[in-house]
Chains A and B, each alone.
Chain A
C-alpha cells in the first residue's frame, strides 16, 4: 500500500465518481422535479455506449460518433417520455417502478437482438490513447483524466444552467413547488420533457465516455443504476449539489474499499479471513454508508427545502 498506489486509486475513484454524477444528475432532477422513479435511467447509459459504437463504425470518427450518439440518446429519451412516461406522472411510485422495470427488461433484451450478446468495444481516440506521467513518476491513462475533466466540466455547466438561467430557475422552482410553477402559467409538461431529455443525454454521455474502458454489453446499465439511486438518495432527492458530493464520495469509497479492504483488514486479522471478508465488505461498504447516513439524516445529506 504505497503512496503512489493510493494516489492512482484516488484518481480512479474520482473518475468513477464523476461518471456516476453524470448518471445521477439526470436521475435526481427527474426524481426531484417530476417525482418520478425512473429505473430505466441506467438503460440510457447503456444505449449511449451502444450508439457510440455503432456511429463509430459508420463514421470512423470518435467526435462525430459522440455527437451523433448524444443526439440519438436525446431523441430516444424524448421518445420514451412522450410515448410512455408522460402518462405516469400522476400515478403512484409503484406504477413507476413496474413500468420502468418493464422498459429495462425490454431494452436489455432488445439490445441483445440488435447488437448481439457478445461484448463490444470502442477504441480510445488516438489523441488520448497514451498515458500521462503524473508528479511522482506514475503513468496514468490519459483517457481516464479526460473522463474526469469532461465530468467536472459538465458539472460546472449544469451549475450555471441551474443557478443562472431561466430554465434553471424553473427547474429549481419545479423541484420544490411544481403546482405553483404550473399555476403561474409555465408549461410544466414542456419543462418535464426538457428535464427528461437533459437527463437522458447526460446518462448517454456517461455511457459514451466509459465505452472505451469497459466492454459494452447488455445489462451494463443495471449496476450503475443502483449506484445512481444510492447517490440520489444519499445526496437528497432533487439536489444537484447533493448528487455531486454523494457521487464523489461513493466513487472514492467504492474504489478505495475494493483496492485496500484486504490490506486494511490484515492489520487486525490473519491473511486468510481477510481475503474472505475483505471483498464482501468492500462491495457492501457503500450500502452500509447509505444505511448509516439515512439513519441519522432520513432525507439525505442535502435535503431540498420545501419538499
Chain B
C-alpha cells in the first residue's frame, strides 16, 4: 500500500477525483431524493467500462473497432438468455458473459487483425452487424423487440444486485477494477509492445515480437471488458435488446472515447460521462436534442483536438501562464 501510494503521480489527480465524485453520487441522490440520478450514473459507469476497453484498442493500439457494441450485446444477452431459462445467478451468468464475448473476440479477431486501417474498421463493423442480425432473429428471446429480464442476477444466492444502492457500488467497483487493470496493462511489457505496434508495427516485428499475437490478446481482453459492461447493463436495465449492438451504438462508443480524449483511459470515462450527461441535459430542453448534438460533435473535432481532456489541459496551461 505504501509502495503504491508513493507511485502516485501528480496527474493521477483527475482519475482519483472522478472516482470520488462517482462514489459520492448515491449520497447526493439520497440528500436531494432524486432516484433517477442513481440509474443515470449506473448507465454512465457501465458505458464508461465499454469506452475504456475501446480506448485500449483505439488509443493505445490504433485499432479502430466499429463493432464494439457487439461485445456489450453478447454480455447482455448472456444474462437475458440464461435468465429466460431460469438461471439467475451471476456465478453462472458472469463467466458465460465473459467467455462468450472473449470467444467471439478471438474468432473475429483472427480474421479482422489480418486487415489494416479502413479495412479493419469495416470488417469489425461487418461482424458487429452479424451479431446484431442474429440477435434480431432470435425469436424465442424476443427477436427485434428485445427481452425483458424477469429478475436481476443473484450472487451466490445473495440478492446483491437487487437493491439499487448495492448495484451502484458494484458497478463502481467494476469500473475501478477495469480502470486499474487497463492502467496496469498499458504500463506492462505487454502494453509497451502493443503501443509500440501502433507507432510502428514493422519495427516491433523486426525487434522480434509477433505483433499479431499481441494485438489479438488485446482484442480479446477489450472484448471481455465490453462483455462485462453488457453483463452489468442487462442487470441495471433488466432488459436486453438488439438495439444494444446496432452500428450506431458502436459509433456512440467511438464518440465517447474521442470526446474524452484518446489514449488516457480516464478520458474514456470523462467522454462517456460527457456524452450521457449531455444527452440527458439536452433532451430535457428539446425533443430534437440531436439537432444540437450533431453540430456540437463537429465543433469538438474541428476546434478541440485531443477531446475534452486536451481542452482542459490547454486551459490549465494557459491559466498557469505557460
Query: CA of A93 to CA of B136 in the docked complex: distance in angstroms?
Result: 30
On whether the beta carbons of B288 and A109 are closer than 8 Å, the reply is yes
**B1 lies within 8 A of chain A by Cβ:** no
Task: Assess whether B122 is in contact with A229, with CB atoms less than 8 Å apart.
Answer: yes
Known: A229-B122, A284-B133. A291 touches B258 (CB 8 A): no
- The reply on B115 being an interface residue by CB < 8 A is yes
Q: Say if the beta carbon of A177 comes within 8 Å of chain B.
A: no
CA distance A239 to B196 in the complex (A): 32
Interface size on A, residues (CB 8 A): 45
Q: Is the CB of B126 within 8 A of A103?
A: no
Pick the interface stretch among B159-167, B297-305, B310-318.
Answer: B297-305
Number of B interface residues at 8 Å Cβ cutoff, please give it.
Answer: 42
A87 to B, closest residue via Cβ: B302
With both beta carbons as reference points, the residue of chain A lying nearest to B116 in the complex is identified as: A298
Question: In the complex, are the beta carbons of A99 and B295 less than 8 A apart?
Answer: no
The yes or no answer to B296 lying at the interface (CB within 8 A) is yes
- For residue A128, CB closer than 8 A to chain B, the reply is no
Interface residues of B (CB under 8 A from A): 58, 64, 66, 111, 114-119, 121-123, 125-127, 129-130, 133-134, 136-137, 139, 247-248, 251, 254-255, 258, 262, 288, 290-291, 293-298, 300-302
For the complex formed, measure the closest distance between the CB of A279 and the CB atoms of chain B, giving whole angstroms.
6
Instruction: Find out whether the CB atom of B111 lies under 8 angstroms from the CB atom of A291.
Output: yes
Complex: how many Å from CA A109 to CA B293?
A: 10
Q: Which residues does chain B contribute within 8 Å of A109, judged by CB atoms? A: 288, 290-291, 294
Which residue of the partner chain, among A104, A105, A108, A233, contacts B122 with CB atoms under 8 Å? A233
A79 contacts which chain B residues (CB < 8 A)?
A: none
How many Å lie between the Cα of A280 and that of B138 in the bound state? 8
Measured between beta carbons, the chain A residues less than 8 angstroms from B117 are 93
Q: In the complex, what residues of A have CB within 8 A of residue B125's CB?
A: 226, 229
Q: Is A90 an interface residue (CB 8 A)?
A: no
B72 to chain A, nearest CB (A): 18
C-alpha gap A230/B66 in the complex (Å): 13
**13 pairs, A vs B, C-beta closer than 8 Å:** A37-B121, A84-B302, A93-B118, A97-B66, A102-B298, A106-B293, A106-B294, A226-B129, A280-B136, A284-B130, A287-B126, A291-B123, A295-B111
